[in-house]
Every structure is written in structure tokens, then in C-alpha cells.
Amino acid sequence: MKAVVDRDLCIGCGTCEEICPEVFRLNDEGISEVIGSCDSAECCEEAMESCPASAISLED
């Protein structure tokens, strides 16, 4: 499974990074970016559901 962040929707709140730091991080612009795979991380779905801007999607 692959996580995707819509940069236009991301508000940089950091919730995804707090929930799933092995997959998400805030870049220098304060926007979330994907840094790892969801294959070994069980937190991707929780990060997606917790995103207040609905900026995270998961793809097979």
C-alpha cells in the first residue's frame, strides 16, 4: 500500500507525522511528504482518517 499526500490540501498540522513518523514528515515548507512505505507500517490508515484536511489517500 502506498500513501499519497495532496500538497494542495495539506495544512501542515503534523498529525500524520505524530501518528506515523516512519511514513510521513513535514518538509521545510511545512507540508507533509511521504518518506516510507505503508507495507510495514500499520499506522497509515489511522493517519489518513485523522487528517483534518483529508489530504492523505492510500493506493494499492
pLDDT at 60 over 90: no
Helices (H) and strands (E) in the chain, counts: 2, 4
Q: Per-residue confidence at 18, pLDDT binned at 50, 70, 90?
A: very high
Residue 41 pLDDT? 81
- Cα–Cα distance, 13 to 48 (Å, whole number): 13
pLDDT at 42 over 90: no
Domain boundaries, the chain: 2-59
In CATH, the number for domain 2-59 is: 3.30.70.20
**H helices present in the chain, as ranges:** 15-19, 44-50
pLDDT at 40 over 90: no
Tell me the residue type at 39.
Answer: D
Q: Which three cell numbers stand for residue 30?
A: 511545512
- Cα–Cα distance, 32 to 44 (Å, whole number): 13
